């Protein structure tokens, strides 16, 4: 079995094993050990990766000759950072959920381990059918995580999450089937070079866009996200924000841009428009939230809108600037993965103590939890894009690039920073600072060792990427260059 295959199937197998274990402590340690194992494998894969080498760690075996579907795995500079991110977040999710489940503890950790395996599968799949299988199978554990261990309105949120994503993905399936029939192959790289008329591209683009837009999520199909985030347990929110949303951006990179470049060019205004609505309108919506989890959820939508903006602005830019904006969008995805995960952990820490997500139930947390307060403020600032944190790198790259397309576009895009600073700082001001008025807050204990470990583990990469982003940029840039080349190789050939 290949390295990537092991990273996919080891956590899934470990998840099945967790179902059989009875003792809660054994289950927890088992799940932690399994996720650490996957992370070690991810690091091995990253260390053995040559940025200029295209797809690596490939493994290919025929699976369903009748459909011409292959079990084909591989990573390039676009997917490897996301694989490492998934493996990293996998550990933290297990730690965050350490005490969440009170019953069916085996099922809880099994769901997370299987989810992790399936998510890695999504990023490693080089065969579209395999991608789709992981993409949709992942709904099952996430549905259960939200529904079984979520809060009061969990059923509604879980069903909404499932149906929204399912709706987007079935149309994507029709697009995949069409492409497979036309090109005779399910391999994604074959589709990248396959010629399509511009009418075909338009329909395919719209079907794929819907599938991934739900996942990103883009306005106006974003409404499942606030519900899902609010109701999911903290560990579920962490995975959802950090990794699941990235699948949408990854899908746009992997499918929409290179497969339908003419349609992407023709319809880039649509995506840019929706992205700007997400940045501005959803940014204002975030300002109005009183529920911390909802606020971070809306902040996620705004930040992901910024990512889609960075991807689709490329048609209005010269090639070097396009590199800047697409790399910036990817940096922003990774940074958002770390920062939003950290913010959800912070809210989880508070929720464990007060059992409330309402901002007005807090205030003056700094008095009793100085260490936590400092970390919370740090992550809020990273969310606002403070220089020196990872949030800054992506934002500045995209905004700089956007200037070339028009100053007003850049001005609107920069709203993400302004509004991000506003809602993030306003939230920490009301929660962390000020006098402690509530008796419960006065009785808070500062971070436990486990919570400290999680937050510090997240703070290190946030700072590292913010202060020295060059290694990461070196890793992704060759793949980005290839992507831009594909996205600008128009292939309609004059057909209507």
Partner 1 sequence: MSVAQEMILMLPEIVLVVGACFVLLCPRFLAWPLTMLALAGTVGAIVATAPEDPTMLMTGMFERSSEIDFLRILVCVLTVLILRYARGHPVSPDRLQSNEFYTLAIFGCVGMFLISGAEHLITLYLGLEILALSLYPMIAMVRDDGRAGEVALKYFVLGALASGFLLYGMSLMYAATGTLHIGELASQLGQLEMNRVLLLGMVFMLAGLAFKLGATPFHMWLPDVYDGASLPAVTYLSAAPKIAGLLLLLRLFSDGLMALAVDWTTLMMVLAVLSLLLGNLVAIAQTRIRRMLAYSAIAHTGFVFLALGAGTPHGMSSAVFYTFVYALMAAGSFGMLLLLNSRVASEDIEDFKGLNHSHPWLAIMVLILMFSMAGVPLTAGFYAKLYVLQAVVDAGLWPLAVVAVLLTVVGAYYYLRIVWYMYFEEADRPAEPGEDSAHVFLVSANALILVFIFAVPQPWLEMSRDVARVFVGGQ
Q: Which residues bind partner 1 (CB under 8 A)?
A: 19, 63-67, 103-104, 107, 129, 132-134, 136-137, 139-140, 143-144, 147-148, 154-155, 158-159, 162-163, 166-167, 170-171, 173-174, 177-178, 180-181
By C-beta, is 91 or 179 nearer to partner 1?
179
Which of residues 214 and 416 has its CB atom nearest to partner 1 in the complex?
214
Q: Which residues contact 355 (CB under 8 A, 6 or more apart)?
A: none
**Nearer to partner 1 among residue 180 and residue 338 (C-beta):** 180
Phi, psi of 323 (to 5 degrees): -55, -45
Q: Tokens for 324, please give them.
A: 């800047």
Structure tokens at 178: 């069409």
Least CB distance to partner 1 at residue 85 (A): 23
The least distance separating partner 1 from the CB of residue 135, rounded to whole angstroms, comes to 8
Separation between Cα atoms, residue 443 and residue 440, nearest integer Å: 5
In the complex with partner 1, the residue whose CB is nearer, 52 or 163, is 163
Min dist CB 163 to partner 1, Å, is 6
CB of 9 to partner 1, least distance (A): 11
Distance CA 379, CA 462 (A): 9
- CB closer to partner 1, 240 vs 309: 240
Query: Any idea what DSSP says for residue 282?
Result: I
Q: Label each residue of 180-232 as H, E or C.
A: HHHHCCCEHHHHHCCCCCHHHHHHHHHHHHHHHHHHCCCCCCCCHHHHHHHHC
According to DSSP, residue 432 is labeled: T
Pick 49 or 178: Cβ nearer partner 1? 178
Q: What are phi and psi of 60, to 5 degrees?
A: -135, 125
Closest separation between CB of residue 402 and partner 1, Å? Answer: 35
Query: 64 or 456, CB closer to partner 1?
Result: 64
Phi first, then psi, for residue 291 (nearest 5°) are -100, 125
Spatial separation of the C-alpha atoms in residues 138 and 114, rounded to whole Å: 8
Shortest distance, position 274 Cβ to partner 1, whole Å: 22
Q: Minimal distance in Å, beta carbon 140 to partner 1?
A: 6
Buried-exposed string 434-443: b where 16+ CB fall within 10 A, e elsewhere: eebebeebee
> Considering the complex, what minimum distance in angstroms separates the CB of residue 490 from partner 1?
23
d(CA 277, CA 305): 8
User: Measured from the CB atom, is 132 or 219 closer to partner 1?
Assistant: 132
């Amino acid at each position: 079995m290949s390295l990537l295959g092991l990273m996919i199937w080891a956590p899934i197998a470990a998840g099945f094993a967790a179902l059989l274990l009875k003792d809660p402590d054994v289950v927890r340690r088992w799940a932690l050990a399994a996720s650490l194992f996957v992370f070690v494998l991810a690091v091995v894969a990253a260390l053995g990766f040559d940025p200029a080498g295209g797809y690596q760690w490939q493994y290919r075996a025929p699976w369903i000759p009748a459909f011409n579907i292959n079990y084909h795995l591989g990573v390039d500079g676009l997917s490897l950072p996301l694989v490492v991110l998934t493996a990293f977040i996998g550990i933290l999710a297990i730690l965050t959920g350490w005490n969440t489940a009170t019953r069916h503890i085996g099922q809880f950790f099994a769901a997370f381990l299987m989810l992790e395996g399936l998510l890695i599968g999504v990023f490693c799949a080089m065969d579209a059918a395999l991608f789709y299988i992981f993409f949709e199978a992942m709904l099952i554990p996430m549905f259960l995580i939200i529904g079984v261990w979520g809060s009061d309105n969990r059923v509604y949120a879980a069903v909404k999450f499932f149906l929204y994503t399912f709706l987007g993905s079935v149309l994507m399936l029709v697009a995949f089937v069409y492409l497979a029939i036309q090109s005779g192959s399910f391999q994604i790289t074959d589709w990248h070079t396959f010629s399509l008329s511009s009418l075909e591209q338009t329909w395919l683009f719209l079907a794929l866009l819907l599938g991934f837009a739900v996942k990103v999520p883009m306005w106006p199909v974003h409404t499942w996200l606030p519900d899902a985030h609010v109701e999911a347990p903290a560990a579920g929110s962490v995975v959802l924000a950090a990794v699941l949303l990235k699948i949408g951006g990854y899908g746009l990179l992997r499918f929409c841009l290179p497969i339908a470049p003419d349609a992407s060019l023709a319809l880039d205004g649509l995506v840019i428009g929706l992205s700007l609505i997400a940045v501005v309108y959803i940014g204002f919506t975030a300002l109005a939230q009183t529920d911390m989890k909802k606020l971070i959820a809306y902040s996620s939508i705004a930040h992901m809108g910024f990512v889609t903006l960075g991807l689709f602005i490329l048609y209005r830019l010269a090639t070097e600037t396009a590199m800047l904006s697409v790399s910036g969008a990817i940096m922003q995805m990774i940074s958002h993965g770390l920062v939003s995960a950290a913010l959800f952990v912070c809210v989880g820490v508070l929720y464990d103590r007060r059992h409330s997500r309402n901002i007005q139930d807090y205030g003056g947390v700094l008095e009793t939890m100085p260490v936590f307060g400092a970390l919370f403020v740090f992550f809020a600032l990273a969310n606002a894009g403070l220089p020196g944190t990872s949030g800054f790198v992506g934002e500045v790259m995209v905004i700089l690039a956007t200037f070339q397309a028009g100053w007003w576009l850049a001005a609107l895009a920069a709203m993400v920073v302004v509004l991000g600073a506003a809602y993030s700082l306003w939230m920490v001001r009301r929660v962390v600072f000020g006098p402690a008025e509530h008796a419960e807050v006065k009785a808070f204990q500062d971070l436990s060792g486990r919570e400290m470990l999680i937050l510090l583990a997240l703070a290190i990469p946030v700072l590292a990427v913010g202060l020295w982003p060059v290694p990461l940029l070196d890793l992704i840039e060759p793949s980005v260059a290839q992507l831009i080349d594909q996205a600008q190789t128009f292939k309609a050939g004059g057909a209507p």
